[in-house]
């Protein structure tokens, strides 16, 4: 069984700066980490490898420095890693990101299961997993908290819903997104660290994934950021005076004036 795990590098801080001209993230000088929920996707793929003897390939679309994150993925148990990096991928929205990842998955061929995190720390849309499945034309299951069994070309999982969980079975290949309840990610092993040090991590560009230039990056994005702003924080506090009944009446009056009731 071949598993592909999608990992995204995200800024390690919430204090990201926005370029006022392009409305895009300024990534220079900001330390990056693997998207925390993607660590659970990686761990689950390595657990499936141990259970079923699968091969795990980690992929990421990002700048050249994402190679280090992919190297870390190898030290934690991935067999191979591929970086999707090209100046043409810059400014991708979720549609263009998913197109790039789906094209790379098609090029990898022979995949049985694609595992993504539930959502990212920065973009936070949760759209990429389902979009990849749609583009590949294969089933998709979100919020997976347990992989029960993979047998006879079928996958049975538990997925979290608001008031409990559902058990779902699907045919393979399929795409799933996982939640943090699924496992506890491991630390890299000494053997993994040694393997990662010398691992070859190829970089695929638009050409390698056979993508049309108009379908990736800003050109392939269906959405664009028109305006980015920090919300103004206005703090107004007023202490109401008098006995509790007077205070309650004054409060109701103020809420009415503000059209809140």
> Is 43 a residue that touches ligand FAD (CB under 6 A)?
no
Site for ligand FAD in 81-120 (CB under 6 A): 91-94, 97, 101, 116-117, 119-120
Q: Taking a C-beta distance cutoff of 8 angstroms, is the pair 72, 81 a contact?
A: no
| Residue 124 engages ligand FAD in binding (rule: CB under 6 A) | yes
Pick 84 or 155: Cβ nearer ligand FAD: 84
Give the tokens for residue 37.
Answer: 């929920």
d(CA 90, CA 96): 10
CA terminus-to-terminus distance, the chain: 59
The C-alpha R_g of the chain, in whole angstroms, comes to 23
Per rule CB under 6 A, count of chain residues that contact ligand FAD: 33
Mask for 197-236, x = binds ligand FAD (CB under 6 A): --------------------------xxx-----------
Q: Name the closest residue to ligand FAD (Cβ).
A: 123
Q: Which is nearer to ligand FAD, 98 or 158 (CB)?
A: 98
**What is the torsional sign of CA 128, 55, 76, 84?**
negative
Count the residues in the chain.
261
Cα(85)–Cα(204) distance, integer angstroms: 6
Rule CB under 6 A: choose which of 38, 72, 79, 80 binds ligand FAD.
38
Q: Measured from the CB atom, is 24 or 205 closer to ligand FAD?
A: 24
- Judged by CB under 6 A, the chain residues 156 through 185 that form the site for ligand FAD are none
- The CA-atom distances, in angstroms, between 165 and each of 87, 145, 151 are 42, 9, 21
CA 50 from centre of chain: 24
d(CA 174, CA 132): 10
Does residue 127 belong to the site contacting ligand FAD (CB under 6 A)?
yes
Binding site for ligand FAD (CB under 6 A): 6-8, 24-25, 35, 37-38, 41, 60-62, 91-94, 97, 101, 116-117, 119-120, 122-129, 223-225
């Amino acid at each position: 069984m071949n598993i592909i795990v999608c990992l995204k590098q995200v800024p390690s801080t919430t204090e990201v700066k926005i370029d006022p001209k392009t409305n895009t993230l300024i990534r220079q000088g900001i330390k990056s980490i693997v998207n925390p929920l993607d660590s659970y996707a990686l761990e689950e793929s390595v657990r499936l490898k141990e259970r079923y003897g699968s091969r795990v390939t980690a992929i990421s679309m990002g700048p050249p420095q994402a190679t280090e994150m992919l190297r870390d993925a190898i030290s934690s148990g991935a067999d191979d890693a591929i970086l999707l990096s090209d100046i043409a991928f810059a400014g991708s929205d979720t549609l263009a990101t998913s197109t790039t990842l789906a094209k790379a998955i098609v090029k990898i061929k022979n995949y049985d299961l694609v595992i993504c995190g539930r959502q990212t720390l920065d973009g936070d849309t949760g759209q990429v997993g389902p979009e990849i499945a749609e583009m590949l034309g294969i089933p998709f299951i979100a919020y997976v908290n347990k992989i029960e069994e993979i047998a006879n070309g079928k996958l049975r999982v538990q997925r979290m819903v608001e008031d409990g969980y559902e058990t779902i079975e699907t045919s393979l290949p399929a795409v799933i997104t996982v939640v943090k309840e699924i496992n506890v990610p491991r630390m890299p092993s000494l053997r993994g660290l040694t393997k990662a040090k010398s691992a070859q991590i190829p970089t695929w560009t638009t050409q390698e994934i056979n993508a049309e230039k108009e379908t990736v990056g800003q050109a392939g994005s269906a959405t664009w950021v028109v305006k980015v702003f920090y919300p103004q924080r206005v703090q107004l506090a007023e202490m109401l005076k008098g006995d509790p009944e007077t205070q309650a009446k004054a409060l109701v009056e103020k809420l009415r004036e503000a059209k809140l009731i």
